Amino acid sequence: MILVTGATGTIGSHVVRLLTERGVPFRAMSRRELPGGVRADFDDPASLARAVADVDAVFLVTVPPVPTADHDVALVTAARAAGVRKIVKLSAIGSGERFDGATVGAWHLAGEKAIEASGLAWTMLRPPSFASNFLWYRTAIQAGEPVPNLTGDSRQAVVDPGDVAAVAVAALTGDAHDGQRYDVTGPELLTFADQAAILERVLERPVGTIDAHVSDGLPAEVVTGIGWARAGGAAYATDHVPRILGRPARTFEQWARDHREAFAAAP
């Protein structure tokens, strides 16, 4: 039995889809009631104990309201007590790098360390920006307004969430990826403006960008991560997707074509 946390989110929903297609038994976790799922909250240890009961492997997605490893640690504690064998954690590219006197992705790094120290088997997935982040700007795009470019002229191998999920499923359903850290990237390095230009071509409507700097209202950890990416820290692509999945990583343009309808729909 596989436990899929973050099952209603961007990556977890693809993991749910792929496991369903393959007929692999799994339990989807949400703070809401899901048909056939388990209702649990990282902040509620009793609910986590129910979620991990009889589970062999966990797909771990944490989006804590403040950037700490508390949710990772809570899951590790429950998983150890229940005899779970493996955790596949969705982390982020660059976690542990130093930038501007601070640690990039410090909370993900702390979560990774807690998992490593647990004695359980693990795989860490460290993607760069998801192609789907452009859906955050759907309303602006529909209104013909420019979308904020936080990363300047820096390039990233922006990844299709479906590819991250497919690698997660490979790690969850076999042991070939135990003890591995994968920077699960897309195939090509693109600036934010490159992505907007591709989207503009696919949607056949203007997708402008406006240079923006983050600082106000965001946790320092998030500002550090964006600064690191803006300075070019994430400007590399890996062959992990083709090596693990036996097919090319999907391009931003392929993702955009698949989501044309979503950009037309009401947000």
Ligand X SMILES: NC(=O)c1ccc[n+]([C@@H]2O[C@H](COP(=O)([O-])OP(=O)(O)OC[C@H]3O[C@@H](n4cnc5c(N)ncnc54)[C@H](OP(=O)(O)O)[C@@H]3O)[C@@H](O)[C@H]2O)c1
Residues forming contacts to ligand X in the complex (CB under 6 A) are 5-12, 30-32, 41-43, 61-63, 90, 92, 127, 129-130, 133
Q: Which residue is nearest to ligand X (CB)?
A: 9
Smaller CB distance to ligand X: residue 62 or 173? 62
Q: Could you give the CA distance from residue 239 to residue 138 in angstroms, rounded to a whole number?
A: 30
Provide the total of helices (H) and of strands (E) in the chain, helices listed first: 11, 11
Smaller CB distance to ligand X: residue 106 or 244? 106
Smaller CB distance to ligand X: residue 72 or 246? 72
Q: In angstroms, how far is CA 107 from the centroid of its own chain?
A: 14
Considering the complex, what minimum distance in angstroms separates the CB of residue 225 from ligand X? 8
Considering the complex, what minimum distance in angstroms separates the CB of residue 204 from ligand X? 25
Considering the complex, what minimum distance in angstroms separates the CB of residue 179 from ligand X? 20
Smaller CB distance to ligand X: residue 41 or 116? 41
Residue 261 makes CB contacts below 8 A (sequence gap 6+) with none
Considering the complex, what minimum distance in angstroms separates the CB of residue 9 from ligand X? 2
Residue 52 makes CB contacts below 8 A (sequence gap 6+) with 3, 58, 75, 78, 79, 81, 82, 84
The torsion of the CA quartet 98, 69, 227, 162, rounded to 10 degrees, works out to 110
Q: Could you give the CA distance from residue 87 to residue 104 in angstroms, rounded to a whole number?
A: 22
Considering the complex, what minimum distance in angstroms separates the CB of residue 163 from ligand X? 12
Smaller CB distance to ligand X: residue 8 or 251? 8
